[in-house]
A and B are shown apart, each in its own frame.
Chain A
Amino acid sequence: MSETAATAVMPVIRIEHLYKEYLTGAGAVPVLHELDVTVMPGEFVAIMGPSGSGKSTFMNILGCLDVATRGSYWLNGRDVNQQSSDELAHLRNQVIGFVFQGFNLLPRASLEDNVALPLIYRGVKRAERLARAYEMLEKVGLGQYRYSRPNQISGGQQQRVAIARALVNQPKLILADEPTGNLDTHTSQEIMALFTELNQRDGITVVLVTHEADIAGYAQRLVRLTDGNIVYDGPVEHAAEHLESTA
């Protein structure tokens, strides 16, 4: 295998024997059991599962916000277990774009400043920060609201701003944790259309967690978790029995 070939096929996410337990007063409670998942560049993966199946924990580990108890995780070819906390921050900044259920925008800052926030931690100059933030806001169709505050726009628009923020550092991977959980059906469809566009047109890898079957239907691949085990991993089309909503 030549080096170029190796980089061309390098998985965005490679997880082997990932195990996670939480320590509680009652002792160790296992949440994820020996998971093995590989996500290649350009994939659109939906993770489904009932409440308590461990999908949020899994997402947090994928996003380098939490660490596994055992097992290996390579993100974009880097062994996450070997990274210092500063290097992890760098990975979150450069490789991953986060989209949360609750949008998680800074209420005091303008939309433009919110979108530009990740660039601060990359040391980008102010003029360029604002230019790129505006570009991203335009991309999600909110350019005219650049000076507004998050509480002045609708939930769907706030999620678009959050997506713009996730995109501003041109990440390889977008991690979305229930991105439509707080939105109505129509707005959800708009947001999912945006993810699909980013995946298909820009080739960004998208991994999202959801419990709604029609949201998961936008993805190409479905990973279904139950009690910390992967019970299905395959194309969405052949997964009718795994696609019922779990809310």
Chain B
Amino acid sequence: MIGAMLSEAWQAMHANRMRTFLTMLGMVIGVGAVIMMLAIGQGVQQKVAASIASMGSNLFIILSGSTTSGGARMGSGAVPTLTVSDAQALEELPGIAAVAPAQPGTAQLVYGPNNWSTQVYGTTPSYLTVRDWTMASGANFTDSDVRSATRVALLGQTVVQNLFGSEDPIGKTIRIKNSPYVVLGVLGAKGQSLDGRDQDDTVIVPVTTAQRKLFGSQFAGSVRFIMAQAVSADAMPAAEKAMNELLRQRHHIRNGEDDDFSVRNLTAMANTAAETTQVLSLMLGAIASISLLVGGIGIMNIMLVSVTERTREIGIRMAIGACGRDVLLQFLLEAIIISIIGCFIGVLLGIGGALVVEKVTGLGVVVTVMSIVLAFSVAAAVGIFFGWYPARKASRLKPIDALRFQ
């Protein structure tokens, strides 16, 4: 029965090839747009997620505070109020997994005939833990390097490329601001940060080395900022409070006075960014869904025309024994076939379009099985939904009225 109905539906579609094609086109464009937009949205989301992961998880950044000088308030970091010992104290707090003080600065690097200017971070070995950063080769420096302020360095991938090319940098000596430093290790690649900076364009040295030998420091032991990692996302609010209290105590700030530091929850900020991209990709999908809806209305429109046009045929079929259900099924099947085939072509086109976007813009796109399944089931539902009304209209015709229809 279904087999016969299928072949009849096929015949009807074949007899009106152009019309079938145009109806299908609405579906193809709708599904294609949904697949493509979801792919682009997913790509953006994945990119943001990767950036967030590269930053490190459950992260706080503690910036040294502002000061007021002659009524003019300076920005964060204007006064070097944070110290390495602050960082050590923070590490003792419950809920804090790792802490790394950081003293950044810019310096010129030289190796052989090559030179390169980059950001140099003075910090402690735990910086890699806090940032979830791995070593590509070599080894991290140690606490004893920090204590004795040795001239050792870890290089980011971009720096290695610019100074060494294909040469292995481990154990080589480079010059930073004309002083020799031994390269202990090479950092793993991290890619772009959320704000688009190249995180691999960096050099890490012991914090004491940076303070005493590289940049100098107005106040002994001061650092620009401290990074801290909480043990878990749940522990973050309590940890933030504890850090605030501890630092106020250590900095002898009385009640009612402003903090001379600020604690920022980087992970919360990153999550906001992730949510934004999620909303963005939802919106892309929603806009694409509208074209799917329009495609569905196209199917309904054509099926209504088809029912009117074939009223006499319906009459003949009823006269020789088709019941309402048979007629309903026949027209419904036609609508479903159109939407399923249209959907299939649309999926292929959407994937193709996504790949073209990837090629042209370099933006990563991700076509997930989920989005294909979603588009397929929505298309089938659209076919059934919009095919239902015309099919029902056909099935409800009275045989005599249908037969008399000219």
A interface residues, Cβ below 8 angstroms from B: 60, 63-66, 85-86, 89-90, 92-94, 98, 100, 104-106, 108-109, 117-118, 120-123, 126, 129, 165, 169
Contact = CB atoms under 8 A, between A and B. Distances in A.
B323 A109 contact: no
Contacts of B403: 65, 104
Contacts of A120: 1, 4-5, 326
A22 to B, nearest CB: 11
Contact size class for B? 20 to 34
Contacts of B12: 108
A89 B11 contact: no
B11 A118 contact: no
Given A106-B313, A126-B4, A121 B323 contact: yes
A50 to B, nearest CB: 20
A243 to B, nearest CB: 29
B369 interface: no
Contact of A117 (B317, B398, B400): B317
A65 B399 contact: yes
Contacts of A92: 318-321, 399
Given A90-B321, A98-B320, A106-B313, A121 B11 contact: no
B313 A65 contact: no
A106 B316 contact: yes
A179 to B, nearest CB: 14
Interface in B355-406: 398-400, 403
B159 to A, nearest CB: 74
11 contacts: A64-B399, A65-B400, A66-B398, A89-B322, A92-B318, A104-B312, A106-B313, A106-B316, A120-B1, A123-B1, A169-B321
Interface in B296-318: 312-313, 315-318
Given A65-B399, A66-B400, A89 B4 contact: no
B325 A86 contact: yes
B320 A118 contact: yes
A86 B321 contact: no
B72 interface: no
A104 B399 contact: no
B321 to A, nearest CB: 2
B18 interface: no
Interface in B131-187: none
Contacts of A60: 400
Given A106-B313, A106-B316, A89 B400 contact: no
A140 B320 CA distance: 19
B11 A109 contact: yes
Contacts of B71: none
A86 B403 CA distance: 17
Contact of B320 (A66, A93, A126): A93
Contacts of B318: 65, 89, 92
Given A66-B400, A108-B11, A121 B316 contact: no
Nearest to A104: B316
B324 A86 contact: yes
Nearest to A122: B321
B389 to A, nearest CB: 19
